[in-house]
Amino acid sequence: METVVTGKGTEVKFGPDLPTVIIAERINPTGRKSLAEELKQGKFDIAREDAIKQTEAGAHIIDINVGAVGVDEVEMLPKAVKIVMEVTNQPLCLDSANPEALKSALEVYPYKALINSVNGKEKSLEEVLPMVKKSGSAVICLTMDEDGIPDNVEKRFEIAEKIIKRAESIGIKKEDLVFDCLVMPNSIDSNAGRITLETQRRVAKEFGVSITGGYSNVSFGMPDRNLLNIHFITMGIISGLCAPITDPLIDNLAEAIKAADFLAGRDPYGMNYISFYRK
Ligand code: THG
């Protein structure tokens, strides 16, 4: 099983038996006042610079989220997509809770995108899945529904099953569904990380699908967030994680991922690990 997304002349593959790929999270105004301010003024200098820096740091896929108070995502998401395509050939992950914004961004993206996201809510399934099918994109599936984010593995698993059934019923292939078992701040509930990882293992084992997640969420409210983020990603990698949404600029992250892939049997003979050190 392999999930494939594309950019200009670039193809990125990930899956349960493949090396981990990085979905770069920095183009997101949440918690970044300067970026939020810039987007409000209709400017993209920081976003452009972030796309360049993240690509140079080895990001495989670039997430674009322009959601902030005072920003019209339907107008701004496609504009950001065009700007980012000018400076990187990596595939894009179109990140919005607003289906209309996803639609307008898809209209300007001529390759196979990763849509972020659909969830188990009836409204989301009805609006987003047809868009996925029509555009031939892949999509991130959040294991939450009308009742919010379940606090237990069983319920998250059931939502994953529901999304798979609905997607397959309209002809979307399983390899185009990338499950996000929901990463929550471990500072609020000490079991948050454990629940995410256990859900991932169950979803991966039962359905054989690709797994992603907003891995930086785990460390909100704690000191040395980068340390926690690196460790949670390496723990995720042995629990089905294929493509974390994270900050590729974190020191030592790339090394840690190469090591974890090798130790988890996802880098035969350590070829990637070894060639990384030759560089
Ligand atoms: N699942 C999916 N998509 C997502 C998320 C998810 N997209 C958005 C988010 N969650 C993942 N992206 C981020 C981006 C930034 C941060 C966390 C998650 C973050 N930012 C710092 C802060 O807010 O303090 C600021 C960074 C800086 O200033 O450099 O932590 O869960 N599918």
- Report whether residue 180 contacts ligand 1, using a CB cutoff of 6 Å: yes
| Pairing verdict, β 10-14 and 3-7 | antiparallel
The predicted-structure confidence for 34-63, as pLDDT tens digits, reads as follows 999 999 999 999 999 999 999 999 999 999
pTM for this one? 0.98
Ligand 1 centroid distance, CA of 217 (Å): 6
Give pLDDT tens digits for 137-177: 999 999 999 999 999 999 999 999 999 999 999 999 999 99
Ligand 1 in reach of 20 Cβ (< 6 A)? no
Between the CA of residue 20 and those of 93, 171, 189, 195, 223, what are the distances in Å? 16, 27, 27, 21, 26
Ligand 1 atom 28: residue of nearest CA = 32
**What is the percent of the chain with per-residue pLDDT over 70, rounded to a whole number?**
100
With a 6 Å cutoff on the Cβ, whether 117 touches ligand 1 is: yes
Confidence of residue 279 (pLDDT cuts 50, 70, 90): confident
pLDDT given for residue 277 in this prediction: 85
CB atoms within 10 A of CB 19: 22
User: Residue whose CA is closest, atom 12 of ligand 1?
Assistant: 25
Which structural domains are found in the chain, ordered by start? 3-278 (3.20.20.20)
**According to the model, what pLDDT value does residue 278 have?**
82
Q: How close is the Cα of 31 to the center of ligand 1, in Å? A: 8
On average, the pLDDT of the chain sits at 98
pLDDT at 104 over 90: yes
Per-residue pLDDT at 51: 98
